[in-house]
Amino acid sequence: MAYVITDSCTKDHLCVDVCPTDCIHPKTDESKVEEVKQLYVDPVGCIDCGACVPVCPSEAIFAAEDLPEDKKAFLDSNAAYYN
């Protein structure tokens, strides 16, 4: 997985708008958008472009290898959203 979204996500969807591979969900028109607390990166679809990082106002997106120790669980939760 190239990038991971963590719990400081505010679901502003700016990252969704810039993602060239459409791998950040749920989108505003998807049914799960109200149910979830954050957005998630599809580990299979992410191409490691980093376009999502600079547009995130809450600094919730990290490269997997740069995740702080206390945020490592979000590797699994992002992947689990797509299973």
pLDDT digit string, tens, across residues 30-39: 999 999 999 9
Token readout for 17 is: 């708008």
Indicate the pTM of the whole model.
Answer: 0.93
Domain of residue 20, CATH code: 3.30.70.20
pLDDT tens by residue, 65-74:
999 999 999 9
Amino acid at 62: F
Query: Residue 30 sits in which domain range?
Result: 3-81
The tally of domains found in the chain comes to 1
